[in-house]
Amino acid sequence: MSFIHDAPDFRDLLGIVAGERALATGLVEKDYWVTHALWALHEQGFEVWFKGGTSLSKGFGLIERFSEDLDLKVGPGTTTLPAVTNWKSEGTTAIMARKASFETLARLFTVPGAQIEIDPAPPEKLWRGVKLRVNYPGAFVADLGALMRPFVLLEIGDARVTPFVECDLTSFVHAELERQGRLGEFDDNRPRRVRCVHPLVTLLEKLDALCRRFPDEKIAPATFVRHFEDAARIIQAADTLPRLDGYADARALAAEMAAQKQLAAAPRPDAAAFAPGGSERWRATTKAYDAIKPMYWGARMTVDDACAIIRRWVTNALV
């Protein structure tokens, strides 16, 4: 097989794309490998559901932020991966079954041109999730700075994955080669018909995360500030989102998710997380929000504006 990253002029191509889009070359490079890794999962026959920030960006074009991790649920599909039948039990048998499935996935999964390993950080003790590193041969990882990891991280576990929309995905590099009429020179490693979780599910999960994490002083704002703008961008695109099959509206979806304990509670407009102020917690949150600017390639909104958009939507759509 002949992939784009095997081409002699791959580095030059990365530089061209970076120059045209006014981006760091390392970000363009990583964007390509994120796309290639997701393609590899599909190509090997795994059943995959895709959610989170990268899904919002690549699947639906709702945000202009580099989200370096892939949030996934992975099933056996046509592979020999052992199926997980119990995600919640804390019993030894269930834990070891989940562990065996994840370890098998790490052995079976291959990404041409990269190496796979289970993240060396201590795994979640109940093995309800696993992090796999896709270590790619990055020529420009120094461009990523402190905000981005020099590898693609797959965060895999159980998650709500319905409703979903099948989307075709691409990368900046693929888009440039398509513009040049050169895509036919290489094997096509653009993921097709990817099951991307509906943005309204992601919106409710992000609002729930903000409501839970913001009041907890032990949680660093850097771990949740991306949710503000992500949520606001989904809301701004509400009229153009795919149909929410099976639900009358967002209120019905939120009620079901709360009943199934996928949300702590339906978000409320008076939540502390949606009311910027002058407290030390808000100063730290605003500082962390501003610090992630290098992860964006499009225009940003202020955290105050994002919160105003969130409050109006919660009031009108959920209350």
pLDDT, tens digit, for every residue of 73-94?
999 999 999 999 999 999 999 9
pLDDT, tens digit, for every residue of 93-113?
999 999 999 999 999 999 999
pLDDT, tens digit, for every residue of 259-312?
999 999 989 999 999 999 999 999 999 999 999 998 999 889 999 999 999 999
Percentage above 70 pLDDT, the chain: 100
Average pLDDT, the chain: 95
pLDDT at 123 over 80: no
pTM exceeds 0.85: yes
SS3 per residue for the chain: CCCHHHCCCHHHHHHHHHHHHCCCHHHHHHHHHHHHHHHHHHHCCCEEEEECHHHHHHHCCCCCECCCEEEEEEECCCCCCCCCCCCCCCCHHHHHHHHHHHHHHHHHCCCCCCEEEECCCCCCCCCCEEEEEEECCCCCHHHHCCCCCCCEEEEEECCCCCCEEEECCCCHHHHHHHHHCCHHHCCCCCCCCEEEECHHHHHHHHHHHHHHHCCCCCCCHHHCCHHHHHHHHHHHCHHHCCCCCCCCCHHHHHHHHHHCCCCCCCCCCCCHHHCCCCCHHHHHHHHHHHHCHHHECCCCCCHHHHHHHHHHHHHHHCC
